[in-house]
Amino acid sequence: MSGFEPRIVAFLCRWCAAAGADLAGTSRLQYPPNAIPIRVNCSGRVEPQWVVEALKAGADGVLIGGCHPGDCHYVVGNYKTRRRIYLLHKLLADMGIEPERVRLAWVSATEGARFAQGMREFLAELKRLGPLHENGGEK
Amino acid sequence: MPETRPRIGVFVCHCGKNIAGTVDVARVAESVSRFPGVVYATHYEYMCSDPGQALVQRAIKEHRLTGVVVAACSPTMHEETFRRAAEEAGLNPYLVEIANIREQVSWVHTGFPATEKAIRVARTVVEKVQGNRPLRPAEVGVVRRALVVGGGISGIQAALDIANAGFEVILVEKSPSIGGHMAQLSETFPTLDCSQCILTPKMVEAARHPRIRLLAYSEVEEVSGFVGNYRVRIRKKPTYVDPAKCNLCGECEKVCPVRVPNEFDRGLSTRAAIHIPFPQAIPSTYTLDAQNCLGIVPLRCGKCVEVCAPKAIDFDMREEILEEEVGAIVLATGYELYPKEAMAEYGYGTVPDVIDGLEFERLLSASGPTRGEIRRPSDGKVPKEVVFIQCSGSRDPEHHKPYCSKICCMYTAKHALLYRHAVPDGQAYVFYIDIRAGGKDYEEFVNRAMQEERILYIRGKVAKVFREGEKVVVWGADTLTGKRVEVRADLVVLAQAVIPSPGTEELARKLRVACGGEGFLREAHPKLRPLEALTAGIFLAGAAQGPKDIPESVAQASGAAAKAVAILSAPKLEHAPEVAEVQEELCSGCGICVPQCPYGAITVDEVAHVNEILCEGCGTCVAACPSGAMTFRNVEDEQILRMVRAALEAADVGV
């Protein structure tokens, strides 16, 4: 599977993670293009169901990007997300899916480099895990 | 005839070479044009330019577009631009979305994969727009009156600024006089202005202002409603003295048989039950403290009534409950010092000659219990050796408060300096952890205290303070020399930690405003919204939000006032409509959503209801709803799932 290119859906909160991704752009920090970003107001809006649907629809990994704990624009949204993803990780493990495929990342609006680095690390992790779908995700 | 099938237009921006230098924009437009629902797609050099916007507007009309996707820079840049342009062309602005192919594509990727990702990103946003509904911002009227809670310098400043902007203000103060702690201070750092001299003109101005209604000796009982439309219940306690009749002759005070500790002098003097907190008090009247008065019940003492020539004293006065409507609220409830009882290691509360910073202010004050002469509480002697201990209760996460109280380095330098002026042959010692003198002319002031005034600064913590005969012995360590230090002092002054004034948390609960772990009122955002509470229409001023000195408090009060005025002067309030919404037929009324909401925007009777003015649109409740009844306008689950599928489908790149 040397040519394996993981497909990633990235749910990014608009105040921190998406702004951090924008800063990575402004700073011209290169990172792999595998993730398609979907901007939401708050990581607290991200439903575990979305993550499961993304994995079903062909994603090899899902990234949820939110504000650092304590910095949520909506005060506590990211704490709720953290609990929900914690439970989802247990559920995924029970289903035989590696929990590492679903990554929660705290990225502030000033952390462009952290966003780019996180993307590289997540991609490396997914390459190590291999494709989630037997046919390599091709339909 | 309303359009039933989506007719989406996609506008791909070159951004000069910023996008087009990396992404094959023509191919993106061509590829997306074949995507279901897209009836028009084009690309242009600078879409945000006037001709670019005109291009979008023309296409909206010519192609009867039901949605627009602009594939360009980050939505934080030009979402507003294109939404406004679309509105001018007759398309609801909430049917316009931005696909970010610059910051998140062309600037971070290269070659063919960049073009492929740009196509995917544009397609996901096309899917979103197809599910968007036209929205209108919610509108609500505004009561053009403000409530300011707390009559210290912050509250006074906020009230004056709002009133001077032309709006009515109700200023509520729980004690008998406005002025707050600033009225107790002797002189202020770093200029050594007389505190009362600069404060009292502002107090008078507030009292005389035609648009400020001062409710002293009053407390906020209950608050309901929302931004622009708050309803407030205020309890006005009886003072038993008619301020209109009282001429401040003071005869009542002289005959009153009661003596209780005087709060204004921090217990360093006593007062009668009928009293005026300080001569310049405002409202300028006596107050009968019913708790300590012998006359009210059951047996009348009545000595004060007998001597009151203008017959101002009325034992039959009752408390009043006032119901008021206000559009905005400023909270300026101030601070208190960390209690004596907590500082057993420093002998505070047991050794009479260990006092706190505010007590020392009263000793320094010309209107204080010693008329400005520094005399120690135990025997009235002038202390020849005084030890000042900084960070007493602050920066001590194991035993006391973890935070820095911010004002103590400065006021301790001031205390030591004023002490040296008053007692030229006296010696002052200051124990400190480090000196934090960040502020205009602050560092210079501390240096002056250290160098010109020969105040001995000892870097280190004090371990123990105890009494030995007439002396107060201070054991500490000098961490610069590593030696033990013992000072046999006459007086010890503790720079006690600053804590929120009592009742802050209770008031915060009434207003659904958050408090941080240490009980200070929490701002909506530590950097970008430092003046606002999370609840819309409620603003924070002064030390209630965190330890602050006078200039900072005044600045924050003026800022909070400006924020309040922005609400009071708006013809009507508009609120972003992209918020949570309940599908009532699906809602079971379980209430799981309620604790998710940090804004108190959800109420539940048979079913849940979202107050769309209070909802800030995080969507945390939506994700929590077990029955799918809570939805989010224009971020419905169905939209997201379509976006996810579009993101993952093989991109049709037209090769």
ipTM for this prediction: 0.95
Q: Which of A22, A49, A53 sits opposite B103 (nearest CB)?
A: A22
CA distance B368 to B591: 56
**What pLDDT, in 10s, does the model give residues B473-521?**
999 999 999 999 999 999 999 999 999 999 999 999 888 787 877 999 9
Chain B residues with CB under 8 Å of A54 CB are 644, 648
State the helix-helix crossing angle for B550-568 and B153-164, rounded to 10 degrees.
30
* pLDDT higher than threshold 50 for residue B269: yes
Q: Which of A21, A24, A59 sits opposite B648 (nearest CB)?
A: A59
Whether domain B145-237+320-334+501-568 has CATH 3.40.190.10: the reply is no
Chain A residues with CB under 8 Å of B632 CB are 45
**Looking at chain A from residue 38 to 57, which residues have their Cβ under 8 Å from any Cβ of chain B?**
38-42, 44-50, 53-54, 57
- The reply to whether residue A44 touches residue B641, judged by beta carbons under 8 angstroms, is no
Topology adopted by domain B8-135: Rossmann fold (3.40.50)
Task: Judge if B145-237+320-334+501-568 and B336-499 fold alike in CATH terms.
Answer: yes
Tokens for B28?
A: 């993106």
User: A58 at the B interface (CB within 8 A)?
Assistant: yes
- The reply to whether residue A45 touches residue B622, judged by beta carbons under 8 angstroms, is yes
**What CATH architecture does domain B336-499 belong to?**
3-Layer(bba) Sandwich (3.50)
The domain locations on chain B are: 8-135, 145-237+320-334+501-568, 336-499, 576-633
Average pLDDT (B353-359) is: 96
- The reply to whether residue A50 touches residue B640, judged by beta carbons under 8 angstroms, is yes
> Which element (helix H / strand E) includes B491?
strand B491-496
Choose between B376 and A136: higher pLDDT: B376
* pLDDT higher than threshold 90 for residue B89: yes
- The reply to whether residue B104 touches residue A25, judged by beta carbons under 8 angstroms, is yes
- The reply to whether residue A36 touches residue B647, judged by beta carbons under 8 angstroms, is yes
User: Do B206 and B171 contact (CB within 8 A), yes or no?
Assistant: yes
- The reply to whether residue B104 touches residue A30, judged by beta carbons under 8 angstroms, is no
The domain locations on chain A are: 8-130
- The reply to whether residue A25 touches residue B124, judged by beta carbons under 8 angstroms, is no
| CATH number, domain A8-130 | 3.40.50
**Looking at chain A from residue 61 to 120, which residues have their Cβ under 8 Å from any Cβ of chain B?**
71, 73-77, 80, 84, 116
Chain A residues with CB under 8 Å of B618 CB are 41-42, 44-45, 73-74, 77
Chosen from A16, A26, A34, A75 to mutate, greatest number of chain B CBs within 10 A:
A75
Question: What global pTM score does this model have?
Answer: 0.76
**A-B contacts (CB, under 8 Å):** 128
- The reply to whether residue A76 touches residue B620, judged by beta carbons under 8 angstroms, is yes
Tokens for A1?
A: 């599977």
Residue B411, number of CB atoms within 10 A of its CB: 24
Instruction: Please state the three-class secondary structure of B599-632 as a single string.
Output: CCCEEECCCEEECCCCCCCCCHHHHHCCCCCEEE
The per-residue pLDDT for B297 is: 64
Rounded to 5°, angle at Cα B319 from B315 and B320: 135
**What pLDDT, in 10s, does the model give residues B615-624?**
989 999 999 9
**What CATH architecture does domain B576-633 belong to?**
2-Layer Sandwich (3.30)
**What pLDDT, in 10s, does the model give residues B60-83?**
999 999 999 999 999 999 999 999
